[in-house]
Amino acid sequence: MPPSPLEKNKMFVVAPIFSKESGFYNNEFLLTLSSSQRSEIYYTTDSSNPLYSTTVKRYKEPIKIYDWSSEPNVYAKFGDDENSPLLIVLIGGYKRPKYLIDKAMVIRAYCQNEDGISEIIDNTYFDTTWNLEKYNIFTIISLIVNPEDLFDPDKGIYVIGNEFIETKNNVDLIYLYRKYYKI
Protein backbone atom coordinates (compact mmCIF):
# COMPACT_ATOMS: atom_id res chain seq x y z
CA MET A 1 0.00 0.00 0.00
CA PRO A 2 1.43 3.40 -0.86
CA PRO A 3 2.19 5.55 2.19
CA SER A 4 -0.11 8.49 2.85
CA PRO A 5 1.37 10.49 5.76
CA LEU A 6 -1.12 12.64 7.69
CA GLU A 7 -3.96 11.34 5.49
CA LYS A 8 -6.48 8.57 5.75
CA ASN A 9 -5.08 5.32 4.29
CA LYS A 10 -5.98 4.98 0.64
CA MET A 11 -7.77 1.92 -0.70
CA PHE A 12 -5.57 -0.75 -2.15
CA VAL A 13 -6.15 -3.92 -4.12
CA VAL A 14 -5.32 -7.24 -2.49
CA ALA A 15 -3.18 -9.63 -4.55
CA PRO A 16 -4.61 -12.91 -5.82
CA ILE A 17 -4.51 -16.04 -3.68
CA PHE A 18 -3.11 -19.25 -5.20
CA SER A 19 -4.58 -22.58 -4.07
CA LYS A 20 -1.13 -24.26 -4.18
CA GLU A 21 2.33 -22.91 -3.42
CA SER A 22 5.30 -23.02 -5.77
CA GLY A 23 7.15 -26.29 -5.77
CA PHE A 24 7.49 -29.82 -7.09
CA TYR A 25 4.43 -31.97 -7.61
CA ASN A 26 4.20 -35.52 -8.86
CA ASN A 27 0.67 -35.27 -10.24
CA GLU A 28 -1.12 -32.76 -12.40
CA PHE A 29 -3.72 -30.62 -10.65
CA LEU A 30 -6.08 -27.70 -11.11
CA LEU A 31 -4.76 -24.41 -9.72
CA THR A 32 -7.40 -22.05 -8.37
CA LEU A 33 -6.86 -18.30 -8.15
CA SER A 34 -9.10 -16.22 -5.92
CA SER A 35 -9.48 -12.72 -4.54
CA SER A 36 -10.62 -11.57 -1.13
CA GLN A 37 -12.14 -8.53 -2.84
CA ARG A 38 -14.45 -8.10 -5.79
CA SER A 39 -11.64 -8.06 -8.34
CA GLU A 40 -10.95 -9.47 -11.76
CA ILE A 41 -7.87 -11.69 -11.88
CA TYR A 42 -5.51 -11.66 -14.85
CA TYR A 43 -2.66 -14.13 -15.40
CA THR A 44 -0.03 -15.50 -17.76
CA THR A 45 1.49 -18.97 -18.01
CA ASP A 46 4.63 -18.10 -20.00
CA SER A 47 6.49 -16.06 -17.33
CA SER A 48 5.68 -12.78 -19.09
CA ASN A 49 4.53 -9.77 -17.06
CA PRO A 50 0.72 -9.92 -17.13
CA LEU A 51 0.46 -6.11 -17.05
CA TYR A 52 2.12 -5.81 -20.47
CA SER A 53 1.84 -9.25 -22.04
CA THR A 54 -0.07 -10.10 -25.19
CA THR A 55 -0.71 -13.57 -23.71
CA VAL A 56 -2.55 -12.33 -20.60
CA LYS A 57 -5.86 -14.05 -19.83
CA ARG A 58 -8.74 -13.14 -17.55
CA TYR A 59 -9.15 -15.87 -14.94
CA LYS A 60 -12.45 -17.72 -15.38
CA GLU A 61 -11.70 -21.30 -14.40
CA PRO A 62 -8.94 -23.32 -12.71
CA ILE A 63 -5.63 -23.59 -14.56
CA LYS A 64 -4.40 -27.09 -15.34
CA ILE A 65 -0.88 -27.57 -13.99
CA TYR A 66 0.83 -30.49 -15.70
CA ASP A 67 4.20 -31.81 -16.81
CA TRP A 68 5.21 -29.50 -19.67
CA SER A 69 8.22 -31.65 -20.54
CA SER A 70 6.33 -33.20 -23.45
CA GLU A 71 5.70 -29.74 -24.97
CA PRO A 72 8.09 -28.48 -27.67
CA ASN A 73 11.19 -26.63 -26.49
CA VAL A 74 10.57 -22.90 -26.84
CA TYR A 75 13.71 -21.08 -25.72
CA ALA A 76 16.07 -24.06 -25.85
CA LYS A 77 15.51 -24.23 -29.62
CA PHE A 78 17.58 -21.10 -30.12
CA GLY A 79 21.11 -21.93 -31.14
CA ASP A 80 24.38 -20.68 -32.48
CA ASP A 81 23.88 -21.63 -36.13
CA GLU A 82 22.24 -20.06 -39.16
CA ASN A 83 19.16 -22.34 -38.91
CA SER A 84 18.18 -21.06 -35.48
CA PRO A 85 15.18 -18.67 -35.25
CA LEU A 86 17.39 -16.48 -33.03
CA LEU A 87 21.14 -16.65 -32.65
CA ILE A 88 22.39 -17.02 -29.12
CA VAL A 89 25.67 -15.59 -27.92
CA LEU A 90 28.51 -17.14 -29.89
CA ILE A 91 30.86 -17.62 -26.96
CA GLY A 92 30.46 -20.46 -24.50
CA GLY A 93 29.83 -23.28 -26.96
CA TYR A 94 26.09 -23.66 -26.31
CA LYS A 95 24.46 -26.31 -28.48
CA ARG A 96 20.69 -26.59 -28.49
CA PRO A 97 19.40 -29.94 -27.26
CA LYS A 98 17.98 -32.41 -29.75
CA TYR A 99 15.64 -33.74 -27.07
CA LEU A 100 12.78 -32.34 -24.98
CA ILE A 101 14.00 -30.73 -21.76
CA ASP A 102 12.30 -30.59 -18.35
CA LYS A 103 10.10 -27.51 -18.02
CA ALA A 104 8.24 -25.64 -15.31
CA MET A 105 4.96 -23.76 -15.44
CA VAL A 106 5.23 -20.15 -14.27
CA ILE A 107 1.95 -18.52 -13.33
CA ARG A 108 1.99 -14.74 -12.81
CA ALA A 109 -1.23 -13.07 -11.70
CA TYR A 110 -2.68 -9.81 -10.38
CA CYS A 111 -6.07 -8.51 -9.30
CA GLN A 112 -7.78 -5.42 -10.68
CA ASN A 113 -10.84 -3.49 -9.57
CA GLU A 114 -12.06 0.13 -9.55
CA ASP A 115 -9.39 0.99 -6.94
CA GLY A 116 -6.50 -0.09 -9.15
CA ILE A 117 -4.30 -3.15 -9.48
CA SER A 118 -2.54 -5.37 -6.99
CA GLU A 119 1.05 -6.48 -6.93
CA ILE A 120 1.90 -9.36 -9.25
CA ILE A 121 2.22 -12.75 -7.58
CA ASP A 122 4.50 -15.33 -9.22
CA ASN A 123 4.48 -19.08 -8.61
CA THR A 124 6.55 -21.77 -10.32
CA TYR A 125 5.27 -25.33 -10.60
CA PHE A 126 7.39 -28.34 -11.48
CA ASP A 127 5.27 -31.38 -12.31
CA THR A 128 7.78 -34.13 -12.91
CA THR A 129 5.50 -37.14 -12.94
CA TRP A 130 8.17 -39.44 -14.29
CA ASN A 131 11.27 -38.80 -12.16
CA LEU A 132 10.76 -36.47 -9.19
CA GLU A 133 13.53 -38.15 -7.19
CA LYS A 134 16.31 -36.86 -9.45
CA TYR A 135 15.67 -33.33 -8.20
CA ASN A 136 15.92 -34.17 -4.48
CA ILE A 137 19.71 -33.73 -4.47
CA PHE A 138 19.59 -30.19 -5.93
CA THR A 139 18.82 -26.80 -4.46
CA ILE A 140 16.38 -25.30 -6.93
CA ILE A 141 16.14 -21.55 -7.50
CA SER A 142 13.44 -20.23 -9.80
CA LEU A 143 14.23 -16.87 -11.39
CA ILE A 144 11.29 -15.38 -13.25
CA VAL A 145 12.22 -13.10 -16.13
CA ASN A 146 10.15 -11.65 -18.94
CA PRO A 147 11.10 -13.72 -22.02
CA GLU A 148 11.74 -10.63 -24.15
CA ASP A 149 14.38 -9.43 -21.67
CA LEU A 150 16.36 -12.56 -22.56
CA PHE A 151 15.42 -13.31 -26.17
CA ASP A 152 14.13 -10.17 -27.88
CA PRO A 153 16.42 -9.50 -30.89
CA ASP A 154 16.70 -5.81 -29.97
CA LYS A 155 16.97 -5.86 -26.17
CA GLY A 156 17.46 -9.49 -25.11
CA ILE A 157 20.64 -10.17 -23.17
CA TYR A 158 20.96 -13.80 -24.31
CA VAL A 159 20.85 -13.30 -28.08
CA ILE A 160 23.30 -11.77 -30.50
CA GLY A 161 20.75 -9.21 -31.66
CA ASN A 162 19.68 -7.46 -34.82
CA GLU A 163 22.60 -5.04 -34.80
CA PHE A 164 25.12 -7.86 -35.01
CA ILE A 165 23.09 -9.76 -37.60
CA GLU A 166 22.88 -6.65 -39.78
CA THR A 167 26.67 -6.34 -39.78
CA LYS A 168 27.51 -10.04 -40.03
CA ASN A 169 28.30 -9.69 -43.73
CA ASN A 170 31.22 -7.48 -42.76
CA VAL A 171 33.95 -10.14 -42.93
CA ASP A 172 36.52 -8.02 -41.08
CA LEU A 173 34.18 -7.49 -38.11
CA ILE A 174 33.33 -11.18 -37.83
CA TYR A 175 37.00 -12.15 -38.22
CA LEU A 176 37.98 -9.79 -35.38
CA TYR A 177 35.08 -10.96 -33.20
CA ARG A 178 35.93 -14.63 -33.65
CA LYS A 179 39.65 -13.99 -33.18
CA TYR A 180 39.03 -12.02 -29.98
CA TYR A 181 36.68 -14.65 -28.50
CA LYS A 182 38.66 -17.57 -29.98
CA ILE A 183 35.64 -19.21 -31.66
User: Which has the higher per-residue pLDDT, 126 or 153?
Assistant: 126
Length of the chain: 183
Residue 141 has pLDDT above 60, yes or no: yes
What is the band of 9 on the pLDDT scale with cuts at 50, 70, 90?
low
Average pLDDT over residues 83-105: 72
Q: What percent of the chain has pLDDT above 90?
A: 33
Backbone angles phi, psi at 88, to 5 degrees: -90, 170
pLDDT for position 1: 54
What is the band of 164 on the pLDDT scale with cuts at 50, 70, 90?
low
